[in-house]
């Protein structure tokens, strides 16, 4: 089965072997694919694997031999699912491969904000502690997480993992979710979304991006928050109105933000969140631990192998009856 990977570098920059996939199909790997290269590179392929390269309906309809699209991520918005279904193409994704890694990044950001370990390490390398008149110094507020209110928007796999860790820190955990109260993990209480924003000390985003969640974090909700509040976003950049969040940070309406995603990636050089007060930004790496990427590849192999054998795993579309 002739198969093309359109953007392999993001998943595997060279620290893993492609052999599990190469043993399964006739594989061509491209590190990156520009929009004007997609069609030519996919011509004649029966399978296409993509992480962030967008497969539009127009492109899909020009690939008559294509039978399988494997999305190398959980989110499926990079593929026109309706067009693929119309063309009889199976589409799969990779669920739950990075749950623990993303939950870990939530608290990497939160601990960075409340303890500033990197800041003090750098200050001490520059000799500041050696020159201190006292045995101790600090120039940022140091905060304890115990007893703080932690709000989670979306209680899927990652949201539940984050809730477990927040509970272990002794935080009071609340969630905005469609789940009923008796489905919630122990120690998690249900709140409406505006109650989360108005009462919680930390708000962490773990919901999918769709029409109803686009700019979920906007000026109205930021105005509801405590001036000491912290926002964490390891979900999707467009859940947040960049300009509104930057204004809230710079004006002191809220205290800080930890972001692993931005509205466009890579971001424009003038994105205001790159320079906002108390805004900590990582380059969409929460999912990218080697352990998570190895799981991703194994699930991709299992998905493709199942398709070849005549059944499917993790299919996100269904054939038209």
Residues with catalytic roles = 236, 265, 284
Q: Which residue has the tokens 């038209």?
A: 320
Pair of tokens at residue 250: 């710079």
Q: Is 64 exposed, middle or buried (0-12, 13-18, 19+ CB in 10 A)?
A: exposed
- Rounded to whole angstroms, the Cα distance separating 307 from 305 reads 5
CA quadruple 285, 290, 292, 296: dihedral sign: positive
Q: Is 214 exposed, middle or buried (0-12, 13-18, 19+ CB in 10 A)?
A: middle
């Amino acid at each position: 089965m002739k198969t093309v990977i359109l953007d392999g570098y993001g998943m595997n920059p060279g620290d893993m072997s492609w052999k599990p996939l190469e043993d399964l199909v006739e594989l061509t790997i491209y590190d990156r694919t520009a929009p004007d290269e997609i069609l030519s590179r996919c011509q004649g392929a029966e399978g296409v694997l993509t992480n962030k390269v967008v497969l539009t309906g127009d492109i899909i309809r020009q690939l008559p031999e294509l039978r399988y699209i494997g999305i190398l991520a959980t989110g499926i918005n990079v593929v026109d699912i309706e067009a693929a279904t119309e063309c009889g193409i199976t589409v799969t994704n990779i669920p739950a491969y990075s749950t623990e890694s993303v939950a870990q990044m939530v608290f990497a950001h939160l601990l960075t904000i409340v303890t500033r370990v990197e800041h003090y390490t750098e200050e001490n390398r520059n000799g500041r502690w050696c020159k201190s008149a006292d045995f101790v110094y600090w120039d940022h507020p140091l905060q304890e997480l115990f007893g703080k209110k932690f709000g989670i928007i979306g209680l899927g796999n990652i949201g539940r993992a984050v809730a477990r860790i927040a509970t272990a820190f002794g935080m009071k955990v609340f969630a905005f979710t469609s789940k009923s109260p008796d489905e919630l993990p122990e120690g998690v209480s249900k709140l409406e979304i505006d109650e989360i924003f108005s009462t919680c000390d930390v708000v962490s985003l773990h919901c999918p991006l769709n029409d109803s969640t686009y700019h979920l974090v906007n000026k109205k909700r930021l105005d509801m928050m405590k001036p000491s509040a912290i926002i964490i976003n390891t979900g999707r950049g467009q859940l947040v109105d960049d300009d509104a969040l930057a204004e809230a940070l710079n004006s002191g309406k809220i205290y800080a933000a930890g972001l692993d995603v931005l509205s466009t990636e890579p971001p424009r050089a003038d994105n205001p969140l790159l320079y906002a007060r108390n805004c900590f930004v990582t380059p969409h790496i929460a999912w990218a631990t080697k352990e998570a990427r190895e799981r991703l590849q194994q699930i991709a192999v299992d998905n493709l192998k199942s398709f070849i054998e005549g059944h499917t795993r993790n299919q996100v579309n269904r054939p038209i009856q």
